[in-house]
Amino acid sequence: MIEVKKITTVETYPIRLEVLRKNIPLPYKFGGDLNDDTFHLGAFKDKKLIAVSSYVKAENPDLKGSQFQLRGMATLTEYQGIGAGKLMMDKAFEILQEMKINCLWCNARVIAVPFYEKQGLKTFGSKFNIEYVGEHYVMFKNL
């Protein structure tokens, strides 16, 4: 069984570094990580933290309403595909709806687009490149 709960900013760092920034000269500490309204979720299996995600109040000018951005979604390689990401997204949708947030958006790696589509997000605009990381789309879900 996988349990999802809020975690601290610092708890996200090892998995972000391992999964998202391994051998990439980009920071694993993100702007907004320590903001009062930012929250971080962790997925635990057998009490081990296996996946993380962060939610930061940030506006995309092309989207409407009150918005949060999903950042740093990462699952340890050996635990990918068992539903940890979906469970974190479900919990985030609950929290954001309680906060009366209208829209969640993210910059999704092309490889992750099918996962986000299954969670109800839609692509917006053209594909773009982030140096060292690859091609991305903006994706969003109105809550």
Average pLDDT value for residue range 3-17:
97
Domain ranges of the chain: 2-142
Q: What is the pLDDT of residues 20-72, one digit of tens each?
A: 998 888 888 999 999 999 999 999 999 999 999 999 999 999 999 999 999 99
- pLDDT of the residue at 5: 98
CATH class of 2-142: alpha beta
Instruction: State the virtual CA torsion across 130, 132, 133, 139 in degrees, nearest 10.
Output: -10
| Predicted structure pTM score | 0.95
Distance between CA atoms of residues 26 and 134, nearest Å: 13
Q: Strand pairing of 2-7 and 122-130?
A: unpaired
